[in-house]
Structure 1
């Protein structure tokens, strides 16, 4: 399928020399009960009498081990306690409070997950250390099923380097050594619409076999009123077109999921683990849009009613085998399979000046595939933890859609009926080698190299076969230096080579038509000639650790992106948007992060914990004239401030978090620009502990319920067309009852 390039073999030479001339030993292999995602990994906790040097860093997931502080690779670890604190029902609401992480789109409705203010796929989302499969949605995961979230700022060779902005690794819950039963029941209300959710977790151990089963279900309704305006001003400053649209959207969502895990400790100390999850989701909504024109020509269609129904199913299963070898070496092999299916139906009716349109659109898609990988770790020489392995996968996407138009009346519109089908195959293979060198008590060095290749082929009944092949060689270097004379201060520096491959959908030259086509509401089409975006990155940080778990840190980053991809709009009789590679982009930023228990500075203070983070991001695209020639959708400023107060006299904990995301103007191209207003979101909660086993959690989400306003502009010699969208948001009430038995 792929041949390993000579550059990869050459890249191994300096690393081999480094190993050959080192002087002391450490093994850092991931323990049997933790995931395989750590860039450095230690021997299992039950390993047979390792050497003393190995024991020093042996149990990376054990109690008392602080991954953020002690791992050479830079990361932030979010615990399960932090994940469930606000009673969130989706992962996006959890992630928005993390340092440097922002969520695109309208508050409370979910959106693209971004790091360093970058969207459009620059952030890698992983499950248990593997890239999330095609067609998978994070909304299908319940926060109750997550053990921890790792925010990885700089790439490592073991994980995919398709992470220009960084990576977010979601680690699902594992079995425990003691029996546990936990039930959670909840309800929610937003804009007069109600929802319910429930989850049950069962864990136990029988001899050498331990298991865990998690199940969750959720159902709810929503109401989302939106409005938009469209104004054209000619080159003389006269308004020649002014339209306004209002949209009422109401719907319902339902989901159910189950996640079983089994761990089997074999007689020889090997470990066999099986973990799976199954999710089914159903979504329905009805939209009613009314358009009025106060100046200029009326659009083709004035009113539109549409009903949408979609069903999706996701199944994923993984099998992992860990085999212990002599001299504390270990072989870790895994295999996984996934199935994702989605079908949808859209029925719409549009009323025009002289014509009516009845349109039906049926779609069906599947994403099936498997993944495989392995890693060999061994302390070949002292003070080194060497790992080498492979990582690959295959996925096949099939998509079909049928569109039928029925038009009545006389006018310019003619029926556009389609029967489209296409399939795409994606092969991925990666090889990596990495080493962590404890040069001294003060300095540790992580060095690695990863070669990753992607081969995509697609064919359909409306276009010729397309093939796209790309590969990237990524050297990586990270260092951790503990400042002498201080037990609490340390410095990090990292140099990485990362990339962003175009996803299959953006490579396929299928055209999706808009109802009222314009420069600000264009058709969309893929580009089979897209190339990967390549980036060199520099990361640096300073960390100061306080007593009682507090931390103050500052981190800097710089990325230089080649073959930057932007969306261009052209007119070939209709306005169409298409992704294109367009030159060089540079992005940079600084992140401040603080976590401070008040009692760490005042012994008699109340039990108050403060959390705050602040990020500044900026960028420039050399092919776009300034000012504001930033990367599209980049968040220039984001911040969070949170407080938790645990009362001493009553079993009550109160807390809140205020998040801020700035937007502002962005010049996307010579003719295109966008604008967004700042977003402010306030979440508060109260937790009452009846007993150690029973809690009641009440939370208010989006308490400020600020409207979301954004606009897009297309300007040329004839004038400018501005489209402004306003989305109302609402306060969300969530109540959860939690009981362990």
Structure 2
């Protein structure tokens, strides 16, 4: 029964030990026969990095006496472990480095967000407060370096991975290096989230959960149904999830300004709270049919709808323009998309695939801000800000796959086109008059992007010990933005050669070495290209300060380019699991970074401090990623059959033109570590587990003037699962069991002043109970 549980981690120092032990482990330790070797090359109908065939099952044990009833159930549970082994089998067979996370691992802790699931994976870090998910980053690199896909498609502006509940996800694919088919906008890597799929296996599952944090309840309900459409191979899946979030956070900010000429200091404190309520409905479905000519057709609708409202209250001492402020806000986001995919066999070794989709997103927000001075009951300044943004998107992809026999070359070529158009209307009034910035640029804004791409790739096996992949991708992006007084066009194109190889010391070996030489890039986000400013509400008129800078885009931004090298050693264990070491390096040119400078601007009659993105030069980053997941008795024969999973990643980077020692890539910590263990009780259908995620404190010199700091993050999670019977399970989980205060700050040196700002807040434990029913 223990075999059904996924492998967890060992503490960071144990990773290196486990690797050493694995290298020295004699074959006699294996208690089951090793699975046959999975082919490293992919057939013509599989995308780059996909396995040629599903991994084969391990050899069966010799026949034994007929087991008792409880032992029969134990054997049935072992069927599920082969599904997990299949994930590792796909990883092993892929020529391009890939990690695959299936349903069992996604749902183990009962996480409410994908960010909480992803934080436990090698090299992945998340922003935001502990236990709340947040933006997802690979190898510690900030926004835009990690390519985020849903079913292989980029999502429109306003969408975040945390808007997807884990119940909707079939698997998560982590690709450490880019491939021609999935795109090269992935300097750090790619995360592809695959939504629930239509399977031949029938499933009717209901999940009811309630979470609690600081006395606030968060109910969650989901329903998943898999079934056949007909007897000719047609199938469907539908998953619906509804959840509500309710939280309150306290805020404490301390800003110290020191005059570098006189040494005089002034301190300003801001205290308050932020309350937020959010309700969301998510739905995705997949309908697929097998066609008479051997092809297939699938349709995949996808809907995300959320509504939230918040209230902020803060007080300043001493006050600048005001002593206290109240802000009420409302936000509604709706996104609907339909994708379709048609495949047809043109011959025994040739397949044509067409994929297309259309979507629309609508984001409406409204904030009402009132500022007060001490002793006055009526607001001295009122800002009413409404915005409505519509996004229309479409995509069309065609792919031709051809298997060349007997040479075992798998050729794939494709053409892609993708367009987005965003129309925004903003109505902003300050004490009954139009807000500054809106006067200059108007209240109507339009932007569009058109991306086209062409690629070709070849995957083949030069010998039984080698697998190789070579690809070439061209991608062009054109963006346009228009407002009242300006119209800006931006064009860029990138050619990216890609090469991957896998070498096995012996054709039947469980060890293999990976190598990748790639070129990737990071394109500017649309909002980074738009020159339209956002005026800081602390200083809406006159001169502002560097720590309360306005924000604006830069139409002249160029994409970053990166040349990359990846080397990895992997050992796949006989009882399932893996030991691996991965080393990576990236050399980046035209690095983009937000820079704060004093500018003469059109929206003010005095110079203002403005933060806008700029290309500032070159950077380098490298790192080591260690991973070990295994059963403890794989290495210690008499040990308890604990499932262990550990990973440790260490990062280093430097940016030219910025003084050290902390001149690193934005938001990149020194490393991240995970350790976890779970165990199924003997004689009881109960599984217990726990994991800890740790990210050290960090300081980054962002520019000559500014530096940013964050405190350490330590998130301890635990769960208990009771399988009442084969149809009913009860899962209890806790997130952030050892809460730490979370803080971030900044240091700005203007030459005349040194401004140090620190923002801190408490975090809390989140408890959850979930009932899982299979009907």
**Same fold by TM-score, threshold 0.5 exceeded?**
yes
Q: CA deviation at 1:63?
A: 5.3
Distance (Å, rounded) in 2 between the aligned partners of 1:44 and 1:651 = 30
Q: TM-score, normalised by structure 2?
A: 0.86
Q: Is residue 414–residue 456 contact of structure 2 (8 Å, CA) maintained in 1?
A: yes
- Using a 3 Å threshold, how does the CA distance of structure 1 residues 717 and 26 change in structure 2: closer, same or farther? closer
Distance (Å, rounded) in 1 between the aligned partners of 2:156 and 2:288 = 23
2:559 maps to: 532
* CA shift digits 1:532-569 (9 cap, x unpaired): 00110011111112121121111011111100011111
Q: Is residue 312–residue 328 contact of structure 2 (8 Å, CA) maintained in 1?
A: yes
Q: Which of 486, 493, 511 lines up with 2:533 in the alignment?
A: 511
Secondary structure in structure 2 of the residue aligned to 1:66 = helix
**1:549 pairs with 2:596:** no
Q: CA deviation at 1:161?
A: 0.4
Distance (Å, rounded) in 1 between the aligned partners of 2:459 and 2:563 = 21
**1:131 pairs with 2:146:** no
2:392 maps to: 368
Distance (Å, rounded) in 2 between the aligned partners of 1:180 and 1:486 = 37
**1:387 pairs with 2:412:** yes
2:25 maps to: none
2:505 maps to: 483
Q: CA deviation at 1:328?
A: 2.2
Q: Which of 66, 71, 86 lines up with 2:109 in the alignment?
A: 86
Q: Which of 131, 137, 140 lines up with 1:108 in the alignment?
A: 131
Distance (Å, rounded) in 2 between the aligned partners of 1:642 and 1:154 = 26
**1:560 pairs with 2:581:** no
Distance (Å, rounded) in 2 between the aligned partners of 1:488 and 1:345 = 58
Greater strand fraction, Structure 1 or Structure 2: 1
Q: Is residue 39–residue 158 contact of structure 1 (8 Å, CA) maintained in 2?
A: no
Distance (Å, rounded) in 1 between the aligned partners of 2:335 and 2:748 = 39
1:644 maps to: 678
**1:429 pairs with 2:449:** no
- Using a 3 Å threshold, how does the CA distance of structure 1 residues 495 and 414 change in structure 2: closer, same or farther? closer
- Using a 3 Å threshold, how does the CA distance of structure 1 residues 439 and 417 change in structure 2: closer, same or farther? closer
Distance (Å, rounded) in 2 between the aligned partners of 1:372 and 1:708 = 44
1:193 maps to: 216
Distance (Å, rounded) in 2 between the aligned partners of 1:550 and 1:565 = 39
Q: Is residue 579–residue 629 contact of structure 2 (8 Å, CA) maintained in 1?
A: yes
Q: Which of 228, 241, 262 lines up with 2:253 in the alignment?
A: 228
Q: How does 1:260-409 map to 2 (within 5 A)?
A: 260-293=285-318, 298-352=319-373, 356-381=380-405, 382-406=407-431
Q: Where does structure 2 lack aligned partners over 5 or more consecutive residues? A: 1-38, 56-82, 540-544, 600-606
* CA shift digits 1:674-729 (9 cap, x unpaired): 11221111111111100122111111001111111111011133230011010211
Distance (Å, rounded) in 1 between the aligned partners of 2:251 and 2:334 = 29
2:704 maps to: 670
Q: Is residue 390–residue 431 contact of structure 1 (8 Å, CA) maintained in 2?
A: yes
Q: Is residue 606–residue 647 contact of structure 1 (8 Å, CA) maintained in 2?
A: no
- Using a 3 Å threshold, how does the CA distance of structure 1 residues 641 and 407 change in structure 2: closer, same or farther? same
Distance (Å, rounded) in 1 between the aligned partners of 2:424 and 2:772 = 42
Greater relative contact order (Cα < 8 A, sep 6+):
2
Superposed CA RMSD in Å reads: 2.2
**1:694 pairs with 2:715:** no
1:707 maps to: 741
2:766 maps to: 732
- Using a 3 Å threshold, how does the CA distance of structure 1 residues 414 and 580 change in structure 2: closer, same or farther? closer
- Using a 3 Å threshold, how does the CA distance of structure 1 residues 152 and 723 change in structure 2: closer, same or farther? same
- Using a 3 Å threshold, how does the CA distance of structure 1 residues 248 and 70 change in structure 2: closer, same or farther? same
Distance (Å, rounded) in 1 between the aligned partners of 2:509 and 2:236 = 40
Secondary structure in structure 2 of the residue aligned to 1:514 = coil
Secondary structure in structure 2 of the residue aligned to 1:130 = coil
Q: CA deviation at 1:625?
A: 1.5
Q: Is residue 646–residue 675 contact of structure 2 (8 Å, CA) maintained in 1?
A: yes
- Using a 3 Å threshold, how does the CA distance of structure 1 residues 726 and 375 change in structure 2: closer, same or farther? same
Distance (Å, rounded) in 1 between the aligned partners of 2:40 and 2:444 = 57
Aligned length: 690
Distance (Å, rounded) in 2 between the aligned partners of 1:64 and 1:516 = 52
* CA shift digits 1:510-553 (9 cap, x unpaired): 11122224312211110111000011001111111212112111
**1:498 pairs with 2:489:** no
